[in-house]
Amino acid sequence: MSRELLWTRRNVLQAGAAGLLSSAWTGGFGANLFAQERGDRPPQDEAVTIVNPRGRVPVSFIIDDSTCLANLAHYGIPHFAAVYPEKYRQDWAKLPNTIPDSFVRKFGEWSREHGVKGKYSIVPYPACIGRIDQKLPDWSKKELNDSLKLVRDFMTVDWDIHPEMVTHTFAIDTKTGKPFADQTEDYLENTGFSVGKSADQLADYMSFALRILKNVGLPCEGVTTPGGFGNRSREALSKGTLMALRDVYKTEIPHYFRHLFTGNESVAPRVEYATGLDTDDPKCVVSIIGCTGDWFGGWDGLTPGTVDQFITEDLDEGRLPEVIERGEPAIMVCHWPGLYFNGDEIGFAIFQDVVRRLHRRYDDLIWMKLSEIARYWASKALTHITKKEETITLRSPFGCPDFTFEFNAPHARDITVKSEETSIVLKEIDQPLDLVSGQWVRDDEEVRVCLDLPRRKDVSVSWATS
Ligand SMILES: [Zn+2]
């Protein structure tokens, strides 16, 4: 990727941000699409532009419907078919009941070799068959323990773990811990269950899911909504996520995955319900937005997609170049049964080709977990920024590695970063693509700086001119 294109992308990013302000947050179509409020925002001097981390475009991979051992398509389809018999006619009994740990390891190893990161769901009580912190009926206790250990020790290095509510099919009564007797649309997590629920009620439900993951020692900073969960209670979903994750995991920056867009809408993360920015208890919740459909193997492992939908053979077209050229995070979405594809691994093969093509086309990407993207966007929205002559002062409520920003400073030299305890002279480098924390790079009159912002401490960046 050429240097010119890098800078151009920055401008596109700004245009995108302006578009976001005029539509999503202030009225019209966007207001219907997002009932959530963004909450407080600190002053940010217009002379400073926050760009992508290290000037690279984030990419990430969302895996839904995974859990330990159980193939959610096999166990879930009969539940969906009980409510919507016309819609779910798949011969679920033919699908294997197990997605083996050998596939988890194979997928995880390939992903690590290629630098891939993202989110991996662990449905805590898959399709009501059993709780992963107790017993799953079709596997031994040892098999379940080994499977949990694989996720805990191996997968969590590159993958955030999310619950996908409790069962991904019929809802659980959190008072009894058992599925409700009434197994109708109103009790299906994917459709009716969340409708009309308050933030407190959804927080109670999400906390039930989170505690199961906590019981088996899995880390967690976010949740994924199964199917249409929360889509008709978006405000309650966002606030409930904030409450539940702070309550169960003491998560600093909770996030959730609910929306994906494949058109012209912005797919930049949204920082919602920000409050207490100047206190010792700042809060917000981040909505992470996917940019593709599942064009890998489908949620049921029966509907293959194509590599070209993501990025064409000539590397010029497809959804990913479209989003990457905008400078917005390109977050792909898939389902675990579709990657495995009943042992044929068709979705996985498509994913491998997508990654190879992406890496052939771009050298300015950065793979990130969703929690890392959430932290970056929270800091981007909520860092207090002032500029006075040759000094910029920043204060982030959360702290953020690789925080990257630009400003106009012809003839700048000797850029120094000072906080209460330290004073460091940043290193000037030549190539924008080499930029890491503690360095800066010049492009004509523009300066791009990358540094790790500490949590709730003033940091001043100043320079000499010659
Ligand atoms: Zn799902």
The most confident of 2-6, 28-32, 460-464, by mean pLDDT: 460-464
Q: Does 463 have pLDDT greater than 90?
A: yes
User: With bands split at pLDDT 50, 70 and 90, how would you rate the model's confidence at 31?
Assistant: very low
Mean pLDDT of 271-288: 97
Please state which of the ranges 34-48, 210-224, 307-321, 338-352 shows the lowest mean pLDDT.
Answer: 34-48
Q: Given this model, what pLDDT does residue 387 score?
A: 98
**Cα–Cα distance for residue pair 255/368, rounded to 1 Å:** 14
Interval between CA 297 and ligand 1 midpoint (Å): 13
One-letter amino acid at 340 equals: Y
What token pair was written down for 397?
């409520």
Interval between CA 168 and ligand 1 midpoint (Å): 7
Interval between CA 64 and ligand 1 midpoint (Å): 5
Q: Does 35 have pLDDT greater than 90?
A: no
Q: What is the pLDDT of residues 214-234, one digit of tens each?
A: 999 999 999 999 998 998 899
Mean pLDDT of 350-356: 98
Q: Where are the chain's structural domains?
A: 3-53+373-465, 54-372
Mean pLDDT of 71-76: 98
User: What is the CB neighbour count within 10 angstroms for residue 253?
Assistant: 27
**Cα–Cα distance for residue pair 258/289, rounded to 1 Å:** 7
Interval between CA 209 and ligand 1 midpoint (Å): 14
What token pair was written down for 276?
């207490």
CATH topology for 3-53+373-465 is Immunoglobulin-like (2.60.40)
Q: Given this model, what pLDDT does residue 232 score?
A: 87
Interval between CA 227 and ligand 1 midpoint (Å): 5
Whether the pTM exceeds 0.85: the reply is: yes
Interval between CA 398 and ligand 1 midpoint (Å): 30
Interval between CA 14 and ligand 1 midpoint (Å): 33
Interval between CA 291 and ligand 1 midpoint (Å): 16
Mean pLDDT of 373-390: 98
Interval between CA 353 and ligand 1 midpoint (Å): 23
Chain centre distance of CA 33 = 19
Mean pLDDT of 406-418: 96
User: With bands split at pLDDT 50, 70 and 90, how would you rate the model's confidence at 2?
Assistant: very low
Q: What is the pLDDT of residues 290-318, one digit of tens each?
A: 999 999 999 999 999 999 999 999 999 99
Interval between CA 123 and ligand 1 midpoint (Å): 9
What token pair was written down for 193?
């269950």
Q: Does 18 have pLDDT greater than 80?
A: no
Q: Does 244 have pLDDT greater than 90?
A: yes
Interval between CA 396 and ligand 1 midpoint (Å): 34
Q: Given this model, what pLDDT does residue 32 score?
A: 44
Q: Does 22 have pLDDT greater than 90?
A: no
Q: Given this model, what pLDDT does residue 33 score?
A: 53
Interval between CA 66 and ligand 1 midpoint (Å): 8
Interval between CA 317 and ligand 1 midpoint (Å): 28
Burial (CB < 10 A; 0-12, 13-18, 19+), residue 334, is buried
Mean pLDDT, the chain, rounded, equals 93
Interval between CA 229 and ligand 1 midpoint (Å): 10
Give the 3-state secondary structure of residue 141. Answer: helix
Mean pLDDT of 390-406: 97
Interval between CA 125 and ligand 1 midpoint (Å): 13
Interval between CA 356 and ligand 1 midpoint (Å): 26
Which one-letter DSSP state was computed for residue 153? H
Q: Given this model, what pLDDT does residue 270 score?
A: 97
Give the 3-state secondary structure of residue 17. Answer: helix
Return phi, psi of residue 372, to 5°: -70, -40
Q: Given this model, what pLDDT does residue 300 score?
A: 96
Q: Give 84-137 as a DSSP string.
A: -TTT----GGGS-SB--HHHHHHHHHHHHHTT--EEEE--SSGGGS--TTT--T
Interval between CA 299 and ligand 1 midpoint (Å): 7
Q: Does 201 have pLDDT greater than 80?
A: yes
Give the 3-state secondary structure of residue 16. Answer: helix
Give the 3-state secondary structure of residue 381. Answer: helix
Interval between CA 430 and ligand 1 midpoint (Å): 45
Q: What is the pLDDT of residues 54-65, one digit of tens each?
A: 999 999 999 999
What token pair was written down for 160?
């955030």
Interval between CA 330 and ligand 1 midpoint (Å): 19
What token pair was written down for 9?
């992308």
User: What is the CB neighbour count within 10 angstroms for residue 26?
Assistant: 10
Interval between CA 335 and ligand 1 midpoint (Å): 7
The percent of residues above 70 in pLDDT, for the chain, comes to 92
Return phi, psi of residue 153, to 5°: -85, -30
- Region of 133 (left: φ > 0; alpha: ψ -120 to 50; beta: rest) is alpha
Interval between CA 164 and ligand 1 midpoint (Å): 7
Interval between CA 460 and ligand 1 midpoint (Å): 44
Interval between CA 163 and ligand 1 midpoint (Å): 10
Interval between CA 144 and ligand 1 midpoint (Å): 21
| Residue recorded with tokens 């990130």 | 368
Interval between CA 3 and ligand 1 midpoint (Å): 39
The CATH code of the domain at 54-372 is 3.20.20.370
User: With bands split at pLDDT 50, 70 and 90, how would you rate the model's confidence at 34?
Assistant: low
